[in-house]
Amino acid sequence: MKQIQNKISIFDDCGACQLPDANQCQKAKQIYKDFYAMILLTIRKTFLKWKVPFIDQDIEDIASKTLVTLFDKQCKVLKKYDFSLGLSPAGYLRMKAVNEVTLFIRSNDLFSIKKQKDLMSIDDIATLFVEFDGENAIDLKLKKQILSAAIEKLNSKYQLLIKYFYYDELTTNEICQIMKISVDSFHTRKHRALKKLENNIKKYLTRNNMNDLLKAYILFYLAPKKEEEQWT
Amino acid sequence: MDINNCPDQDILLHYMQKKLSRKQKKQVEKHLCQCDFCRKAYGISVNLLHDSSFSRWEPLPQKTISTVISHKLNEFTDKLVFFVNMLFKTPVLVPVVRNDDDIESKDNPITVQNAGLENGFTPFIKTINQLCFEMKMFNCDEKKADLSMVTRYQDHPMRDVNYFLTNAKGKSRAKCQEDEAVYFREIPFGLYELIISHQGNETIHIKFEINRTGIYENNDLS
């Protein structure tokens, strides 16, 4: 119990909130001294992970905004820290800093600009597939529609895995951290997800009486290994 | 929970630690599947929590109950062996500090820099998992000497460190509250056991002998 008390001492009610001047608060000074560098680093790393444009002034602004939200309304946010959740104090502050960055990105609509760029590049890649088909060019929109419909029918845990892996292009280790699973179970889950996706697409095609060419094309697109074996 | 009604960060925090009910968990997962922004934000925040570059702001790893119990048992058996050896055996000592070498190479600037300059004793240094423990001996006479101890974590002196120094006669204790070294005055020569604990967790456990020539770690019992 002593250990826990030591750990959360800076998050306890110090009684200084009633002081007229916030600069007199020793707790705020201590957090600023101990964790300000960490908050700056967190914000920079978050921007880099989002891959959105930013300047140094943004980092400083968000860092000061984070501290303000922590100490605002008599340290309301700071007092919300719950050690039973398994987060360290530094981890909690990091989460708050990440939250401020996401709010900043959302308010300035930086993500949608990035998303548009991503969509352009995916379209460029997709045109390569159209060229592969040659004479029978298939409507890209239709293909996307089929794929998204098939993905949406998956269980949420499979959907999340596929979206993290193929859409967000995260590494295996990162996904394992996010989903709290081992590497082995990640691979089995991914294998099952792809298998189910394939079945969903087959069902969709048979239900809508798609032509054979489209079937072959989409099966080739999803399971290249099997198709290669068949062709050879 | 629609796409437009993104969940609060506190809900995501509870979801991360698996503290939500089944219904809430399903709702959050469904939303994460639909909303690209929230999915990405959640992924980034989890990855940043596990980022090793923030380790210097994190506290030292806590021990579980099983490791504490096993450690206590080991500690008890170690103490037993230590006192039995003290009674019946002459312990095998592995010299860590070579006083003669130090005196010989006193002109060498590198060794002089590392050495306890005033007395000609080199400091006893032990590093375990980024923890560096340094012990110096000074004011040495024929029967006793003074000791100073500092513990550093990634080159920063640690606060709230407890030092328990034990010999056959009893235990003496010192606590380091500021960034200063801890001093044990007039320690008689003999075999000693030192336990260093930080925030209630035992971090370093050393057995050593002090005599006229320096500090010697006792590897026979560890």
* pLDDT tens-digit map of B86-97: 666 544 444 444
- CATH code (residue B211): 2.60.40.10
More confident: B73 or B180: B73
Residue B56 falls inside a structural domain:
no
Is B210 found in the same domain as B125?
yes
* Confidence at residue A211, expressed as pLDDT on a 0 to 100 scale: 59
* Angle of the B9-16 helix axis to the B36-49 helix axis, nearest 10: 60
* Confidence at residue A232, expressed as pLDDT on a 0 to 100 scale: 42
Per-residue pLDDT at B117 exceeds 50? no
Chain A contact set for B51 (CB, 8 A): 45
Is B122 found in the same domain as B19?
no
> What is the ipTM, given to two decimal places?
0.74
Flag if B39 and A164 touch (Cβ within 8 Å).
Answer: yes
Chain A contact set for B57 (CB, 8 A): 34-35, 38, 90
Residue B165 falls inside a structural domain:
yes
Is B104 found in the same domain as B79?
yes
Is B125 found in the same domain as B41?
no
Cα angle: B164, vertex B165, B168; to 5 degrees: 130
* pLDDT tens-digit map of A87-118: 788 888 888 899 899 889 888 877 776 665 55
**How far away is chain A from the Cα of B39, in angstroms, using its nearest Cα?**
8
* Confidence at residue B62, expressed as pLDDT on a 0 to 100 scale: 55
Residue B170 falls inside a structural domain:
yes
Is B125 found in the same domain as B17?
no
* Confidence at residue A139, expressed as pLDDT on a 0 to 100 scale: 62
A165/A170 Cα distance (integer angstroms): 5
More confident: A219 or B72: B72
Is B117 found in the same domain as B177?
yes
What CATH number does the domain located at A111-231 have?
Answer: 1.10.10.10
Residues of chain A with CATH 1.10.10.10: 111-231
More confident: A83 or B7: B7
Chain A contact set for B1 (CB, 8 A): none
Is B72 found in the same domain as B32?
no
Is B106 found in the same domain as B18?
no
Task: Find the closest chain A residue to B28 by CA distance.
Answer: A156
Range B88-115 burial, b when 16+ CB lie within 10 A, else e: eeebeeeebbebeebeeeeeeeeeeeeb
**pTM to 2 decimal places:** 0.54
Number of folded domains in chain B?
Answer: 2
Domain that holds residue B13: 9-50
Cα angle: B61, vertex B62, B68; to 5 degrees: 130
Flag if A49 and B47 touch (Cβ within 8 Å).
Answer: yes
Q: What is the mean pLDDT of chain A?
A: 74
Flag if A3 and B13 touch (Cβ within 8 Å).
Answer: no
Residue B163: CB atoms within 10 Å: 21
Flag if A7 and B59 touch (Cβ within 8 Å).
Answer: yes
Flag if A2 and B51 touch (Cβ within 8 Å).
Answer: no
Antiparallel, parallel or unpaired: β B131-138 and B124-128: antiparallel
- The region of weakest confidence among A187-191, A225-229, B180-184 is A225-229
Best probe of the A interface among B8, B49, B153, by most A CBs < 10 A, is B49
